[in-house]
Chain A
Amino acid sequence: MSRIIELKDIKRIYPISSDVVVRALDGISYEIEEGDFIAIMGPSGSGKSTLMNILGCLDRPTSGKYFFQGKDISNYTRRQLATLRNKKFGFVFQSFNLLTRTTALENVELPMLYADVPSKKARQVAYEKLAMVGLKGRETHKTNQISGGEMQRVAIARSLVNNPIVLMADEPTGNLDSKTSIEIMSLFTSLNKQGITIILVTHEPDIADYANRRIHIKDGLIESEEITRDLSKRGER
């Protein structure tokens, strides 16, 4: 089990005016092992989204160190971060964030465009991943013609095409009914079993239950951490 993420005293401070600042993250240190399934919880405004953005390389910390696979990436350029997001991360959002009026297939192919995967190969991979999330036969449906649950499956398929190491899921079930939520979460669980590290942001305890570890954020700090399932006993669920 290797350590893929290590945060050291991460701070993210937004200046509001010359003398007022918002300390969204106020010194977070944390380590994530490969294959882990972590739920980040906390009330709104606690800083969990900011943490998520920094972990997902969408944002950079104001201070502190972020080691990803042993490399300090806290001072990476926009370009380097984009490459990292493309190759190592997958994203699933509450609002799906699919391209509108575009087919499921094209949405899933999108990350491969920026990874220079040849079109033929990309198409093949997209078909595979869509089948994997249970959307076989829906490939050419446009995103405005399918249900919320299906949209989230498309998003998951898209997040997987470049074989990411970490999957970032920001309230993935926030816009779904409870039955669909269970389906989506079991999809995450099976992906985790295949070895993908999952970082999940949620405020619903029963969604957080799917994770192995749970951390609570409050006022930009980690308030508490619970280990709900021992990593070594993974797969017993």
Chain B
Amino acid sequence: MKPMRVLRIFRLSLRALTRNKMRTALTMLGIIIGVGAVIAMVSIGAGAKAAVQSRFEAMGTNNLSLRSGSFRGPGGVQSGAGSLPLKLELVDLIKQRCPSVQYITPLYQTRAQVVFGNKNWNTSIQGVNENYEIIGNWNLDYTYSGSRFFTQKEVEEGARVCVLGADTVAKIFPDDDPIGQILRIKTVVFEVIGVLRAKGQSGGFGSRDDLILAPYTTVSTRIIGANAQLQEIQMAAYSASSTDAAQREVETLMREYNRVQPGQADNFSVRNMADIAESAAESQNIFTILLGSIASISLLVGGIGIMNIMLVSVTERIREIGIRMAVGGQEEDILIQFLFEAIVLSVTGGLIGIGFGFAVSKLLHFIPMFATITTIVSPSSIFLAFGFSVAVGVFFGFYPARKASRLDPIEALRYE
């Protein structure tokens, strides 16, 4: 078929659509809402995924964490009857026997009251060694001059020094320079030697920046006291790719150390941040797919709307089709005329829908209820939704168009 004829038939289709403006607009609305919903929903899913990923990145993807008890999914740690408490000597043992582990620190955790002058604040106290700066992916805030982490020597000596999280600083030292200040944790006095740079919102877990880090030696003996129990040993492998090897080494060592018989379940757990990040990303993907599929249903409904209107349109214009056939219109001339109408409906609807979806995802956080939701409009979701809407137009437009093209010219001419 000559391109010239295709173009002229395309103009006929456009004219038919502009003749029935109300109907055209309403038919398009189905596609607009469908495409808009797909883009907005997928942008919410993508935003949630990005938020989760950045949280894991802040934790460090090379990280491993050893706890007693068996680990059951992302829900938490189950302390089984057979679980043994972690011993501090494990830190040295892992250092010697697990070559893939680069950094290691014990972690004692407690909450305690912190006092400075007339300020009083309850916060999380973490007893760790000098490696925690790297393992925890912390950065010192050098806007405070002299800000530093505690040294190995200070850890060994049980020095009474501490490093503050950004939020803690804001609470206790709103106006003063904290470096060199003396504060009290429970009854013990500590010197503030450093401030950590903020990691930002954790998204659901509360602030990650409200904490005090101190040498574990000091925390376990002076703050927690006699019943000090090592909760966790954190490690960092050399690289993300050696995390699995490190995990196997630690597991082997721990089964031996805890005398776990072959076939018996582990009474400790080694969590691998990369795995957790991956499974979290996966569940976010499922979430995105779920949102996208729900939105796709409205796109499908929009497509059915197009088919419905096109069928009505064909029936209304049987006489016209007969005339066109009588004067020499070929089957494909009629087919493309009606197919173009459906495609123009869906493509125009799709384009408007992209704008609509974009606007929704950008304006969503102005609604108080959704203020915390981050949205990311990805080009792929735009292409996907647009491609889908074109496909819907072709798919649902084809049947009515084919029906029109297959009419018998005599019957079509006679149709009242």
Residues of A bordering B, CB below 8 Å: 53, 58-59, 78-79, 82-83, 85-87, 91, 93, 97-101, 110-111, 113-116, 118-119, 158, 162
Contact = CB atoms under 8 A, between A and B. Distances in A.
Contact of B323 (A59, A82, A101, A110): A110
Contacts of A118: 4
Contact of A114 (B19, B320, B328, B410): B328
Contacts of A59: 410
Interface string B360-389: 000000000000000000000000000000
B2 interface: yes
A83 B333 CA distance: 12
19 contacts: A58-B326, A58-B413, A82-B325, A82-B328, A83-B328, A85-B328, A86-B327, A91-B326, A93-B413, A97-B319, A97-B322, A97-B323, A100-B320, A111-B327, A113-B8, A114-B324, A114-B328, A158-B327, A162-B328
A58 B326 CA distance: 7
A99 B320 contact: yes
Given A58-B410, A97-B413, A114 B333 contact: yes
B328 A116 contact: no
B13 to A, nearest CB: 13
**Main SS at interface, chain B:** helix
Nearest to B413: A97
A113 B323 contact: no
B5 interface: yes
Contacts of B319: 97
B331 interface: yes
B7 to A, nearest CB: 10
Interface in B394-416: 409-410, 413
B324 A110 contact: yes
Contacts of B409: 58
Contacts of B330: 79, 82-83, 114
Contact of A86 (B19, B328, B410, B413): B328
Contacts of A111: 327-328
A10 B322 CA distance: 24
Nearest to B328: A86
B174 interface: no
Interface in B288-338: 319-320, 322-331, 333
B406 to A, nearest CB: 9
B94 to A, nearest CB: 81
Contact of A79 (B320, B331, B410): B331
Nearest to B12: A113
Nearest to A87: B328
Given A99-B320, A114-B333, A116-B5, A53 B410 contact: yes
Nearest to B327: A111
Q: Nearest 6 CB-CB pairs, A to B?
A: A86-B328, A111-B327, A114-B328, A97-B323, A114-B329, A85-B328
Contact of B19 (A78, A101, A113, A162): A101
Contacts of A82: 325, 328-331
A78 B323 contact: no
A101 B15 CA distance: 11
B22 to A, nearest CB: 16
A102 B94 CA distance: 88
Nearest to A53: B410
Nearest to B332: A79
Given A58-B409, A93-B413, A116 B327 contact: no
Nearest to A161: B327
Nearest to A49: B410
Contacts of A83: 328, 330
Contact of B327 (A79, A101, A110): A110
A191 B19 CA distance: 36
Interface in B4-36: 4-5, 8-9, 19
A118 B2 CA distance: 11
B333 A99 contact: no
Contacts of A58: 326, 409-410, 413
Contacts of A98: 323
B410 A97 contact: no
A85 B326 contact: yes
A79 B409 CA distance: 12
A143 B108 CA distance: 91
Contacts of B9: 113
A87 B327 CA distance: 9
A85 B4 contact: no
Given A53-B410, A101-B19, A119-B8, A114 B2 contact: no
A158 B324 CA distance: 12
A63 to B, nearest CB: 18
B405 to A, nearest CB: 10
A101 B19 CA distance: 10
A100 B16 CA distance: 12
Given A58-B410, A79-B331, A114-B333, A97 B326 contact: yes
A100 B2 CA distance: 27
Max chain A C-beta neighbours (<10 A), residue from B5, B325, B328, B413: B328
Contacts of A93: 413
A87 B330 CA distance: 13
